[in-house]
Structures are given as structure tokens and as C-alpha cells.
Amino acid sequence: MAPMQLHWDIFCRVIDNYGDIGVCWRLARQLANEHGKEVRLWLDDLNSLQPLCPDVNVLLAEQLCQGVKIFHWTANTAVDRVAEVIIEGFACELPHAYQHAMAQVTPQPTWINLDYLTAESWAESCHGMASPHPSLPLVKYFFFPGFSPASGGLLRERNLLAERDQLMAGIDRNDALDISLFCYGSAPVGKLLDVLTDSDTEIRLHVAPGKPLAAVIAHLGGDAPWQCGHLSVLPFDFLPQDNFDRLLWRCDINFIRGEDSFVRAQWAGQPFVWQIYPQEEEAHLVKLSAFLGCYTQGLSTAATNAAVNLFKAWNSATDLRQAWSDFLLARPEIIKHNRRWATQLANNPDLTNALVKFCEAKV
């Protein structure tokens, strides 16, 4: 391999528990293991990475894990060298000393701000845009993940879909529904439990730890597991990322949140319901509508309405019972659509590959 842009530094500040680090950790692993890059991940909260990667020792300031060098990023952290490519995860500000060191390097390193995922049209026009530093001879480029060829694409490991299909081929389906639940504390979990309890079909609800399980306990009381009519409520321990992906593959419907699990639910090819991260003045609902506008293309009017209404009910706690009933009726069509949707997305370059090519073109 040519030594061009061999060294990459990724900086990540944990804001949303697992969303930011979830994306940055997947990116770091893929750069190291599929592209042969020497990757250093600078992270301010090792405790958030440890559940995603149990091999991580939260007490170490520096360690090597799954091919990635992980550094605990603190206010006093000294960086000994500047990488050829620097990824600023989700607009986290790079250390000032590091920025000044970047300005002294020749040739100039490639500096990328990896932004949040959105289907809004403005993101495509901003993708790849250059932004000169106000006082240093540096340029930062904005890189937007997305759902079309005009965007930066989505994180997808090289053999992900083949591994999914191999696992799914060995699963025997029955009439019971397996549903995963991973959500924020604002989700109407109690209303969902009431609706599922009234089901005539056997349902196994697999509940993630943290806020989802806390919401279930608050509504049902007592100790897990719970049996409510035909509904079995089954908590699971925190899963490393690869194991969580496989849970999504095996489940018939996935309630997911944020960005990382949102993308992984789409690669699963199963029906899913997304809770978007709440923002002030309900700005997140604009982002939700933008996604639904592109995702539902190709669905019948009835299935489109069913998907849109359940997504909106889950994000605004409106009539969840009717929305759920309509979604189940449309589920056979949505299953076929989601497989096509995953295949369509996979025809676009994956984010890591697109990022490598983008940076190589800046040399």
C-alpha cells in the first residue's frame, strides 16, 4: 500500500451517550481493518465506548483495540504528531494546540468535519464544501452522510449484507413477532406496551438497557421478565455493536433511535420505527419528514400513510394504537420495500470508502 494518507486522527466528544461514539468507532474500525489506515481515536469519554467494545479498558490513557489506537482525550492531552487526515466528529472543536501544529505541517493535512446524517436537501449542496480557518492557513471540509449518490453515503462494512443474508437464511420464522426497543426517555413506551398487550399475536419485545428498560419498569413495575397477555417483555444486556446489528437482523420490527442504530436498522432490511433526537422548537420533525419523503418512495399510498403515521406517532405520542394497527396491515409490503431500500442504499458508495477517496483527491 502506498504511504499516502496512511495516518488518520479521529476526534470525538460524547454528547448523546452512544450515537456520536457509535459512528466514530465504526468509522475507525473500518478505516483500520478494510483500508489499512493507522487510526488514532481521540475520545473524551471511554465509559461510553466500553459497552460497544468490551475489550476497552476505561482506566488506560492509551491502548490498541481491534486495530485502532484509542487515546483518552482530556484538556491536558498532548498530541505528539499531526496526522495526514484529521476527522472532527460532529463539529467537536479540535484542541487549539493541535490546530496550530496542523498549520506548521507541509503538505497541509486534510481536515474533515464529519457532520450529522440528514435527508434534507441543503445537506447535499453543502457536502464537500470548504471552509477556511479564520486565522490559520487551514481549510476544513464538510462531509455529510446521506441517502443519495450526491451525499457521503452511509457506514457499511464490506461484507455486512452478505453476513446478514447468511444469518437470515438459517432462521426459521413463525407467527410470533420479535420486536426490539431502543429509544430515548421521551418515547411513549407505556402507550406502546398497552397496545402490544392487547395483541392477539404472540409478541416478544426485546428491551435495551438504560432509558428503554427504565421506561418499561416505570410502566409495568415489578421485575423482569414480564408477561402481559400474549406479550413477553424481555430485557437484554448491552450488546457490542456487531451483536446489536445481528439482533436487528433477527427481529421482525425494530424501534431504534438517533443515528447509528437508525442506519443499522436500514441495513437489516426489516420494518423499523425511528425516534429522532428531539430538538428545540421541534426542528427534528423537519428532519424526520425529509427522511420519510425519500424513504417511502415506491410504497403504495396505504403503506406510505401507515409508515408515516407510526413514525410521527412514536415521535409525538399521538394516536399510537391506530397507527400500529395500520402498520401491521401494511407490514408485508413494508418488508419487501425495506429489502429493496437497503439494496438501493448499498448501490451508493459506503461512507468510509467515499471519505477515503475524497481525502485522496485533496492531496
Does residue 2 fall inside a structural domain? no
10 Å CB burial of residue 163 (0-12, 13-18, 19+) is middle
Q: What is the pTM of this model?
A: 0.95
**Under 8 Å between Cβ of 362 and 6:** no
Evaluate whether residue 254 is within a structural domain: yes
Residue numbers annotated as active site: 20, 259
121/233 same-domain check? no
Q: Please indicate, yes or no, whether residues 180 and 135 belong to a single structural domain of this protein.
A: no
| 122 and 186 co-located in one domain | no
| Whether 81 and 103 share a structural domain | yes
Domain that holds residue 54: 7-154+349-360
What's the DSSP call for residue 272? Answer: E
80 falls within a domain: yes
- The residue behind cell 484509542 is 70
The answer to whether residues 234 and 88 belong to one domain is no
Co-location of 146 and 179 in the same domain: no
Q: Are 119 and 153 in contact (CB under 8 A)?
A: no
Tell me, yes or no, whether 149 lies in a domain.
yes
Residues 283 and 166 in one domain: yes
Structural domain count, the chain: 2
* CATH number of the domain enclosing 94: 3.40.50
Confidence (pLDDT) at 2: 42
Check whether residue 189 and residue 306 sit in a common domain: yes
Residue 68 burial (C-beta neighbours within 10 Å; 0-12, 13-18, 19+): buried
Residue 17: predicted pLDDT: 65
We report the CATH number of the domain holding residue 171 as 3.40.50.2000
How far is Cα 18 from Cα 135, in angstroms, rounded to an integer? 33
Phi/psi of residue 182, each to 5°? -135, 110
Identify whether 292 is part of a domain. Answer: yes
Is the residue at 1 inside a domain?
no
DSSP string of 51-100, one letter each residue? TT-TT--TT-SEEEETTEEEEE--TTPPP-S--SEEEEETTPPPPHHHHH
For residue 137, cis peptide bond before it (omega within 30 degrees of 0) = no
Is residue 23 situated within a structural domain?
yes
Tell me: do 149 and 169 sit in the same domain: no
Instruction: Let me know: does 284 contact 278? Beta carbons within 8 Å.
Output: yes
- Residuewise pLDDT in 10s, the chain (363 residues): 344 789 999 999 988 667 789 999 999 999 999 999 999 999 999 999 999 999 999 999 999 999 999 999 998 888 889 999 999 999 899 999 999 999 999 999 999 999 999 999 999 999 999 999 999 999 999 999 999 999 999 999 999 999 999 999 988 888 899 999 999 999 999 999 999 999 999 999 999 999 999 999 999 999 999 999 999 999 999 999 999 999 999 999 999 998 999 999 999 999 999 999 887 767 788 999 999 999 999 999 999 999 999 999 999 878 899 999 999 999 999 999 999 999 999 999 999 999 999 999 987
Residues 331 and 354 occupy one common structural domain: no
Residue 251, all three cell numbers = 427481529
Q: Are residues 210 and 131 in the same domain?
A: no
Specify whether 222 is located in the same domain as 265: yes
CA dihedral (118, 18, 350, 303) positive or negative: negative
Please enumerate in sequence order all residues whose Cβ is within 8 A of that of 109, keeping only pairs 6 or more positions apart, or say none: 82, 83, 84, 85, 86, 102
Contact 115, 143 (CB under 8 A): yes
